[in-house]
Amino acid sequence: MGNRVSYQRRRAHLQLPIAGETLPFRIALGLDVAWAPFLLGLVATTISAIYPAYRAAKLEIASALRFV
Amino acid sequence: MLVIKLALRNLLRNRRRTILSLLLIAFGTAALFLFRGYGVDVAAMTRESAIRQVWHLRIATEAFWDGERYGYDYLIAPEVLAGVREILAEEPQVVSYTTGLSLMGLLGTEEKGTTTFLAIGVEPGNPVPPPEIKEGRPLKDGDLGAMLITQDLARELGLQPGDNLVVKARTIDGLYHAANAEVAGIYHVPGLGGNMVIAPVSFNQMMRGTDRISTIAVKLADHGATEEVALRVQRALEENDLAGLRVKTWQELADFHHQLVLFLNLIFGFIGLVIFVLVFFSVLEALTMAFFERIREVGTVRAIGTRRHQVFGMFLSEGVLLGLFSGLLGVALGWGIGSLINVAGLTYNSP
C-alpha cells in the first residue's frame, strides 16, 4: 500500500517563501481607471435626458402657446 | 454649434438646479473612480503577490496536478529534470528557476521538546526573493542541514540562530529518518504558518530518501509573455519525450487572485448600478422640471420654424453637456482625493 499524498499537501509544494510586507493603501489613478466611471455618468445623464427631450419634441405648437 | 450654445445657456439659466445635478453626478463619478482605482491597485498587488509566490510558470507531472493519486510516482526523476533544465536554458524569457520538494515531520531538541513542521524546499543559490530575516542569516549555497524558521517556532521551542535541531520525517519508502539541522536564521512572513520552515531542497531530498523533486518554479523576464512561454516550453517538453510533464501558468494557479478580481468587479458593478440609477432619476427629474418650465418657450421656438428634431437635440444636448461636465468634474475630484490618499501613505497588513 502506497503512501497517500493528499492534494492539500501537494499544494504546499507550490509555495515559495515571499518577502513579507505591509501593503500600501493606494488608489490607481490612470486613464484606464477613469474611463468607466466617466462613461457611466455620461450614459446615465444622456439616457435620462431622452424622455424630456422627446416630450419637448412632441409638443404641439398650439397647446404650448396656450400658456402664453 | 448653435444647439450646444443654447444648451449651455439653458444650463446656466437655472444655476442652482444645474449645480445640484452636477454635484450629484460628480460625486457619484468620483466615488466610482476611487473604488475602481482601489480595486485596480489591489488586483495588481495580488497579481504581484501571486507571481512572487508561485512564480510565472510551474512544471510538474500530470500526476502531481491531478492531485488524487497514491504513492510518489508524481515526483520528477533527475534524468527528466536534466531534460527540463536544457529546455529552460534555451528559453530567452527565463530569468531563473528553482526546483522544489516539501517535507513534513517533527523537529525540536531534547531539552525543549518537538513540534510538527512543513519545510518548503528551495535552491539556496537561486534568487528566490528572500523572506525578511529577523535574526541570523539567509540560506546560502552549500547549506545542507541549515533551516530558516519562523518567529513563532523560535518562540515555541526557544530556538536561536546557531542552535541545533533534530529533524524527523518519513522517507518516500515509509521509513523514519532522523537528521541534525542547524537554525540558520529566523524569518517573518505575514500569512505563512507558524511551523513553516524553509530548507534547501537537497536537505528535503536527503530526508525523504530520494533524488527527485516535485515541481520546478520558473521566473520570466516579462509578465506579458507568460502564456506564450508556457506554450513554447510545453511544446519543447513534448518534443523531447517529456510529455508526462505539464506547464501551468500563475494565472491557472492563483485562485485567490481570480476570486478577488471577480469579487471586486461584482462590487464595482453593484455600486455602478446604484449610482447609475441615482444619476438617472435625479437628472430625469431635473430635466423634466426644466421641460415643464419651458413649455411656452418650446412653443415659441417651434412657431418660428424650429423643427421637432432640433428641439429634441436641444434638450438632449443639455443632458449630454451636463454629463460631460459632471463626469470631468467627478474624475478630477476622484483624482484629487486619490492623490491625497496616495500622498498620505496609508498602509495595512494583508489578510
B306 Cβ neighbours under 8 A, 6+ residues apart? none
What is the average per-residue pLDDT within B153-165? Answer: 90
Task: For residue B59, count other CB atoms closer than 10 A to its CB.
Answer: 26
Interatomic CA distance for residues B177 and B8, integer angstroms: 84
Output B139-145 pairs: Cβ under 8 A, ≥24 positions apart.
B139/B184, B139/B185, B139/B198, B139/B199, B139/B200, B143/B184, B143/B200, B143/B203, B144/B200, B144/B202, B144/B203, B144/B206, B145/B179, B145/B180, B145/B181, B145/B182, B145/B203
Binding-face residues of B in 2-41 toward A, CB within 8 A? 25-26, 28-30, 32-34, 36-38, 40-41
Lowest mean pLDDT among A14-23, B136-145, B312-321: A14-23
Grid cell digits, residue B120: 518548503
pLDDT band at B210 (very low <50, low <70, confident <90, very high): very high
What is the side-by-side strand order in the sheet with B57-61? B94-100, B215-220, B57-61, B245-249
| Residue A8 scores a pLDDT above 80 | no
Sequence ranges of the domains in chain B: 2-47+258-344, 55-252
Size of interface A-B (CB pairs under 8 A): 281
Which tens digit of pLDDT belongs to each residue from A48-65?
989 989 988 888 888 777
| Residue B309 scores a pLDDT above 60 | yes
pTM of the shown model: 0.69
B244 Cβ neighbours under 8 A, 6+ residues apart? B61, B62, B63, B80
* ipTM, 2 dp: 0.71
Give φ, ψ of B71 to 5 degrees: 80, -165
Q: Inspect the interface and report whether the beta carbons of B129 and A17 lie closer than 8 Å.
A: yes
Classify residue B22 by burial, with Cβ atoms within 10 Å: 0-12, 13-18, 19+. Answer: buried
CA nearest B189 in A: which residue? Answer: A20
Interatomic CA distance for residues B311 and B302, integer angstroms: 8
- Choose the mutation target among B172, B291, B348 for the interface with A, i.e. most A CBs under 10 Å: B291
Q: Inspect the interface and report whether the beta carbons of A13 and B64 lie closer than 8 Å.
A: yes
Confirm or reject contact between B330 and chain A (CB < 8 A).
yes
Q: Inspect the interface and report whether the beta carbons of B131 and A38 lie closer than 8 Å.
A: no
Task: For residue B98, count other CB atoms closer than 10 A to its CB.
Answer: 21
